[in-house]
């Protein structure tokens, strides 16, 4: 089923229905002008995606490139015939329309050719395909199968290049009209005469494509003078035909490691630079329209986390100091002033960088509420640190490229009630949230008399509020850390909601002891659901016997923790 969804606009993509072209100027390529507010996901089969990408970016085109993969060729994968077809579309600046095996999608392809007013279809791929049905009364020249033939067949030169299959979509996304390249895949057999790749199986019965052609000439037509201002986001698994059409229209194509425009600095800045133009996302990996719209809105701000991008993990690891500004009795963070803390935590992160493939950034696990013996005015046994006292620490961290996690020991109060009081700080782009069940008290309990517990439902209430805050303010993804060193600290842990992509959820193993004791606890915690949680670890300067070195923390602890805090 094709999913073609969009937001922020009043219309939809042009429908590829048959159109009367008798009054249409069929001598020029006319690019479409998609609504600048469109944040649109295009999914479906490769055939469907090719038709709808053409409809999104082209208003009219007297020429199109038609590709019918040979028998046995994957409908969306990079077989040798796709390189010449992509180069032809890019060099001419015309759309590329795909037809699947056994004529799959030919009705949609024909309707799109009608809508475009295409009087000529350049044939590529299987000579035995039903080209007559696809072309109808259109002229049908055969596309060149080798780079050396491009000048004579299409009037411009092309170069041949070879690359790995994994880089095929990337190569198409970087193709230039002025220097089209025929991309071949390493290990593919040479193309046999007539255009049928040996690597795709036995050649189909029938004559060569040249024998199916009705002409050897292209019509005189005018290419579009200005490129499309749209941005197309793709991944390595996106449909190649659609990527080729995007580049033929001159649209910018940004290849992402995964289907999230917040992933990596290049993706964020690409969307930011196209704030006032349409952004199309190609493929199922980009999620639902609602998910993509939220992520694109965040990326459009251009605000990035330390080390770049807007997703917390896996783009970075963190080394953090834990504590409270009041002094050293609650952790290493309070052993020195603000400026000295920034220097110290930068040095801490530096110790981990030789042992990590990802950037390691400094962070503060900054306690906002402290469980204590005094019940306080609300009887919660939890002391709130004024926002004015924490703000200078957050300001300094932001200026120094240090991530901050506000940590809550809520005592007898529920987490959400306390967290909301610190919205002013949590709305900052590089401030996350930590919840500490050890200090969550049941009625009648007191701090230090027992290990606290919290339900997954209560954590979910706080996490939903944080996710909504992140979404509503178009913020980068936020870290949500939950401390745990005993299974019973979180009841119904399997019910923790980790589905909100506005958050990266980490469970923080914060117990102390010998390395063996800590690793035993670690392994138990890793065996308990839910999946999709980023594991993190704590080292204690005084209580661990002995404390692991940075190298040991990254080599002995498995899986390697994404966040390491120091108390």
Structural tokens at position 274 = 């196209």
Structure confidence by residue, pLDDT tens digits, 446-457:
888 889 899 999
Residue 15: count other Cβ atoms within 10 Å of its Cβ: 11
Task: Characterize the bridge pairing of strands 231-234 and 279-282.
Answer: parallel
User: What's the pLDDT at 201?
Assistant: 35
How confident is the model over 309-338, as a mean pLDDT? Answer: 97
Task: Characterize the bridge pairing of strands 231-234 and 252-255.
Answer: parallel
| Res. 78: pLDDT tops 60 | no
User: What's the pLDDT at 429?
Assistant: 98
Single out the residue of 225, 180, 228 nearest to residue 65, CA to CA: 180
Structural tokens at position 20 = 């009367």
DSSP SS3 for 361: strand
How confident is the model over 331-346, as a mean pLDDT? Answer: 98
CB-based contacts of 412: which residues, under 8 Å, 6+ apart? 379, 380, 381, 382, 441, 442, 443, 445
| Res. 6: pLDDT tops 50 | no
User: What's the pLDDT at 177?
Assistant: 79
CA distance 17 to 108: 8
* Residue reference for tokens 């193309």: 191
DSSP SS3 for 148: helix
Give per-residue burial for 81-116: e unless 16+ CB within 10 Å, then b.
Answer: bbbbbbbbbbbbbbbbbbbbbeebbbebbbbbbbbb
Lowest average pLDDT, out of 39-48, 65-74, 252-261, 525-534, goes to: 65-74
Structure confidence by residue, pLDDT tens digits, 243-253:
999 999 999 99
Structure confidence by residue, pLDDT tens digits, 185-231:
876 544 333 333 333 333 444 468 888 899 999 999 999 999 999 99
| pLDDT band at 364; cut points 50, 70, 90 | very high
| Res. 504: pLDDT tops 80 | yes
Structural tokens at position 222 = 């005018």
CA distance 248 to 85: 11
Please, what is the end-to-end C-alpha distance for the chain in angstroms? 53
Query: Residue 475 carries which DSSP code?
Result: P
Structural tokens at position 207 = 């004559």
CA distance 508 to 535: 6
How confident is the model over 323-327, as a mean pLDDT? Answer: 96
Query: Residue 442 carries which DSSP code?
Result: P
Structural tokens at position 546 = 């002995």
Q: Residues for the chain: how many in total?
A: 567
Report CA-CA distances (Å) from 512 to 268, 451, 486, 499, 537: 39, 14, 12, 30, 10
8 A C-beta contact, residue 79 and residue 197: yes
Domains of the chain: residue spans and CATH:
4-14+27-300 (no CATH), 317-566 (3.20.20)
Q: What are phi and psi of 291, to 5 degrees?
A: -60, -45
Exposure of 37 by Cβ count < 10 A (0-12 exposed, 13-18 middle, 19+ buried)?
middle
């Amino acid at each position: 089923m094709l999913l073609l969804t969009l937001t922020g606009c009043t219309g939809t993509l042009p429908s590829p229905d048959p159109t009367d072209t008798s009054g249409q100027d069929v001598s020029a390529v006319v690019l479409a002008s998609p609504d600048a507010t469109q944040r649109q996901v295009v999914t479906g089969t490769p055939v469907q995606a090719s038709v709808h990408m053409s409809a999104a970016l082209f208003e009219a085109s007297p020429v199109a490139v038609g590709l019918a993969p040979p028998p046995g060729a994957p409908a969306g994968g990079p077989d040798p015939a796709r390189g010449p077809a992509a180069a032809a579309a890019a060099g001419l600046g015309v759309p590329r329309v795909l037809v699947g095996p056994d004529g799959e999608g030919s009705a949609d392809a024909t309707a799109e050719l009608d809508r475009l007013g295409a009087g000529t279809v350049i044939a590529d791929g299987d000579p035995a395909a039903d080209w007559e049905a696809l072309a109808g009364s259109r002229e049908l020249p055969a596309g060149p199968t080798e780079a050396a033939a491009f000048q004579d067949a299409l009037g411009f030169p092309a170069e041949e290049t070879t690359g790995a299959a994994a880089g095929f979509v990337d190569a198409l996304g970087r193709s230039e009209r002025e220097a089209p390249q025929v991309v071949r895949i390493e290990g593919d057999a040479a193309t046999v005469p007539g255009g049928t790749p040996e690597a795709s199986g036995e050649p189909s019965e029938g004559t060569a494509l040249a024998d199916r052609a009705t002409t050897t000439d292209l019509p005189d037509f005018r290419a579009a003078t200005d490129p499309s201002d749209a941005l197309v986001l793709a991944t390595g698994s996106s449909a190649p035909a659609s990527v080729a059409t995007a580049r033929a229209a001159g649209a910018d194509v940004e290849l992402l490691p995964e289907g999230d425009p917040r992933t990596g600095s290049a993706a964020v800045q690409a969307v930011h630079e196209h704030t006032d133009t349409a952004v199309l996302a190609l493929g199922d990996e980009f999620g639902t329209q609602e998910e993509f719209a939220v992520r694109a809105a965040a990326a459009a701000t251009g605000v990035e986390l330390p080390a770049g991008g807007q997703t917390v993990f896996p783009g970075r690891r963190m080394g953090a100091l834990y504590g409270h500004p009041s002094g050293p009795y609650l952790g290493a963070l309070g052993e020195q002033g603000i400026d000295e803390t920034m220097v110290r935590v930068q040095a801490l992160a530096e110790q981990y960088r030789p042992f990590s493939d990802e950037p390691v950034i400094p962070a503060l696990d900054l306690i906002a509420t402290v469980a204590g013996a005094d019940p306080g005015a609300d009887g919660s046994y939890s002391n709130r640190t004024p926002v004015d006292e924490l703000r200078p620490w957050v300001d300094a961290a932001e200026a120094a490229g240090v991530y901050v996690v506000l940590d809550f020991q809520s005592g007898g109060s529920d987490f959400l009630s306390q967290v909301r009081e610190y919205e002013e700080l949590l709305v900052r782009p590089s401030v996350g949230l930590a919840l500490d069940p050890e200090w969550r008290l049941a009625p009648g309990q007191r701090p230090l008399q027992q290990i606290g517990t919290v339900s997954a439902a209560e954590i979910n209430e706080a996490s939903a509020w944080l996710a909504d805050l992140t979404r509503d303010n178009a913020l980068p993804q936020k870290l949500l850390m939950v401390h745990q060193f005993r299974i019973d600290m979180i009841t119904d842990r399997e019910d923790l909601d980790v589905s909100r992509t506005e958050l990266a959820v980490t469970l923080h193993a914060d117990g102390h002891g010998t390395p063996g004791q800590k690793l035993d606890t670690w392994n138990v915690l890793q065996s308990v659901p839910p999946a999709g949680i980023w594991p993190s670890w704590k080292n204690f300067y005084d209580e661990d016997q002995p404390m692991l070195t940075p190298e040991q923390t990254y080599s002995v602890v498995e899986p390697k923790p994404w966040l390491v805090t120091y108390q």
